[in-house]
Amino acid sequence: MPSTVLVGAQWGDEGKGKITDLIASDYDYVVRFQGGNNAGHTVIHGDKKLALHLMPSGVMYEDAVPVIGNGVVVDPGVLVKEMAMLESEGVSCKNLRISGDAHVIMPYHKDLDGADEKRLGSQQIGTTKRGIGPCYQDKMGRKGIRIQDLMDEKIFRLKLETVLAQKNPVLERIYGLHTYTVEEICDEYLPYAQILRKHVAETGQLLNDALREGSSILFEGAQGTLLDIDHGTYPYVTSSSCCAGGASTGTGVGPKAIDRVLGIQKAYITRVGGGPFPTELKFPEEGGVGQDASDGELLCEAGHEFGVTTGRKRRCGWFDAVIARYAADVNGLTDVALTKLDVLSAFDTIKVCVAYECEGRRYDYFPMQQSVLFHAKPIYEELPGWKDIDITDCRAYEELPEATRSYIEYLEEITGVPMSIISVGPDREQTIMRGW
Ligand code: IMP
């Protein structure tokens, strides 16, 4: 298997978990390169569903080495708990490798995430409140604490002292929150260091050596293209590089080592949190009316669109080809996995947004100006559906109804990327391989 980057091509929640789970066993290393426990997906283990937030899904395969790369932010308490949960289910974590350069989410990061959201009021980003943003802020501000610092008590205490001298006044005077002592944090965090120590490694060197020896790597992206700090709908984004380029900076593996870039796209689109969303079908409680509101409710219900990490109802809309083309460009997609196609069996006809319109101008490309995106009206093509035909048992492309194949081929044509994997249900077997 050549080395592959798997990325979300929309706003996250595209079904990366299922596709990762499907292909991960073909790779020798499965590597997380960005984000933290703001991600969440379920993997099937025997007859149980396990929720992973931080652990690379390679942990589920005995022969794969799961790696947490330098670009990830690690909440050590969450990681230790996740490892204990997996071990109790009979999944060994012994192969896990964690980069010493990954940054550590500290208690004050979580406090500040929540407090900052409150401060933003109606302009809230709708973060997962896991401390992701404040941790990346400290990384970029060069006052972060890394896994290697946590492993060295003397350095950890020293860095904490410096950072708390700055954090405590902010916590107390700006947000009216409680402050921390070095001792308090050490009591909680140093025991984590004992558990994680044997997993800490020079992961950049490990992966480059592995490539030299002919091993393959799956770079497992979290969140999605439009949540990328650079290429997403800023400021309504997460604080990391979720696009394919992040796989290099977040692991220390050069871009030439990447052979394929697989973008995961739902057959419609969803987003959680705030920010612009041109094809959104607003729910009645958000002011949506008529057909749009009922289509939105139907997508949410038929697609079970509730967050794994937060349980929040996801905002739903029709497939947006403007976004799909943009995702193809910024990630250099070689392939797409189209997921949740079965959900569209609930509709008479299916809309696809082919371009936007804003103040009399047509936009075929993703607009640079945020104000355009906020006011963009989708220009739709309406395609015949395959209402009430159950496609969840189809295992070969030819078994799909003609209207379904036409829908897929139409999407391929207007987005320019082959759809090599088609998912028609939540289970592993409910997948059609078309050249992957
Ligand atoms: P943060 O990553 O917690 O800082 O949240 C920033 C934005 O990214 C919010 O809109 C979140 O809802 C969104 N977000 C973060 N992680 C995910 C994810 O795994 N799926 C979908 N949205 C996410």
- Catalytic one among 21, 41, 228, 342? 41
For 218, list phi and psi in degrees, rounded to 5. -105, 120
What is d(CA 50, CA 87) in angstroms, rounded to the nearest whole number? 12
Question: Token match 């909680």: residue?
Answer: 188
Q: Whose CA is nearest to atom 15 of ligand 1?
A: 38
Under a CB-based contact definition with an 8 Å cutoff, are residues 344 and 352 in contact? no
Instruction: List the CATH code of the domain at 4-99+199-263.
Output: 3.40.440.10
Which mutation among 128, 225, 229, 309 tests ligand 1's pocket best, with the greatest number of atoms within 8 A of CB?
128
- CA-closest residue to ligand 1 atom 12: 273
pTM, 2 dp: 0.96
Specify the 3-state DSSP secondary structure of 237.
coil
**Cα 237 to ligand 1 centre (Å):** 7
Report whether 326 contacts 332 (CB < 8 A): no
Considering only CA atoms, which residue is closest to atom 9 of ligand 1?
A: 127
Instruction: Supply the pLDDT for residue 310.
Output: 72
Whether 303 and 346 have beta carbons less than 8 Å apart is answered as no
Q: Which of 71, 135, 73, 69 is nearest to 96 (CA)?
A: 69
The two tokens of residue 167 are 């954090």
The confidence score (pLDDT) of residue 49 equals: 86
Query: What 8-state DSSP symbol labels residue 60?
Result: G
Give me the pLDDT at residue 127, please. 93
Query: What's residue 122's pLDDT?
Result: 87
Calculated CA dihedral for residues 103, 185, 80, 72, nearest 10 degrees: -10
Q: H helices then E strands: how many in the chain?
A: 13, 20
Nearest to 9 by CA among 281, 244, 274, 301: 244
CATH 3.20.20.100 fits 265-433, yes or no: no
**Closest CA relative to residue 191, chosen from 148, 151, 135:** 151
Ligand 1 centroid distance, CA of 38 (Å): 6
What's 144's DSSP letter? -
CA distance 247 to 219: 6
Residue 273: per-residue pLDDT: 85
Q: What's the CA gap between 81 and 100, in Å, rounded?
A: 19
- Can you tell me which residue has the tokens 């308490």? 77
Tell the residue nearest (CA) to atom 11 of ligand 1. 127
Looking from the CA of residue 309, the nearest atom of ligand 1 is 19
273 CA distance to ligand 1 middle (Å): 7
CB 387 within 8 A of CB 357: no
How far away, in angstroms, is 212 Cα from ligand 1 center?
Answer: 35
pLDDT tens digits, the chain, 436 residues: what are they? 789 999 999 999 999 999 998 999 999 999 999 999 999 888 878 888 899 999 998 899 988 999 999 999 999 999 999 999 999 999 999 999 999 999 999 999 999 999 999 999 988 999 999 999 999 999 999 999 999 999 999 999 999 999 999 999 999 999 999 999 999 999 999 999 999 999 999 999 999 999 999 999 999 999 999 999 999 999 999 999 999 999 999 999 999 999 999 999 999 999 998 899 999 999 998 899 999 999 999 999 999 998 766 778 899 999 999 999 999 999 999 999 999 999 999 999 999 999 999 999 999 999 989 999 999 999 999 999 999 899 999 999 999 999 999 999 999 999 999 999 999 999 889 999 999 9
Using omega within 30 degrees of 0 as the cis cutoff, is the peptide bond preceding 235 cis?
yes
Distance 359 CA to ligand 1 centre (A): 30
Token pair listed for 162: 């410096």
- How far apart are alpha carbons 250 and 241 in whole angstroms? 8
Three-state secondary structure string covering 353-404: EEEEEECCEEECCCCCCHHHHHHCEEEEEEEECCCCCCCCCCCCHHHCCHHH
> Domain 103-195, what fold?
Adenylosuccinate Synthetase, subunit A; domain 2 (1.10.300)
DSSP state of 171: I
Identify whether 45 is a catalytic site residue.
no
At 312 the pLDDT is 80
The pLDDT value given to residue 4: 98
Do 113 and 134 form a contact (C-beta atoms < 8 A)?
A: yes
pLDDT for 58 equals: 87
Report the pLDDT value the prediction gives residue 42, as an integer from 0 to 100. Answer: 82
225 alpha carbon – ligand 1 mean position (Å): 11
Q: Rounded distance, CA 202 to CA 224, Å?
A: 27
Residue type, 139: K
- 188: region left, alpha or beta (phi > 0 left; psi from -120 to 50 alpha): alpha
Apex CA 68: angle with CA 137 and CA 125, to 5°?
A: 35
d(CA 61, CA 232): 32
- Say how many C-beta atoms besides its own lie within 10 A of residue 244's C-beta: 28
Is 427 annotated in the active site? Answer: no
The answer to whether residues 391 and 398 touch, using CB atoms and an 8 Å cutoff, is: no
Q: Where in the chain is the domain with CATH 3.40.440.10?
A: 4-99+199-263
Residue for token pair 């900076």: 249
The per-residue pLDDT for 377 is 97
Per-residue model confidence (pLDDT) at position 391: 98
- What was the pLDDT predicted at 59? 92
Pocket of ligand 1, beta carbon within 6 A: 12-13, 38-40, 125-128, 130, 132-133, 222-223, 227, 236, 238-239, 272-273
> How far is the C-alpha of 221 from the C-alpha of 270, rounded, in Å?
17
pLDDT at residue 27 in the model? 96
Q: Which residues are bridge partners to 351 per DSSP? A: 382
User: What residue type is assigned to position 63 of the chain?
Assistant: D
Closest residue by CA, ligand 1 atom 20:
12
Ligand 1: which atom is nearest the Cα of residue 130?
3
Radius of gyration of the chain (CA): 22
As annotated, the residues of the chain forming the CATH 1.10.300.10 domain(s) are 103-195
Contact 352, 414 (CB under 8 A): yes
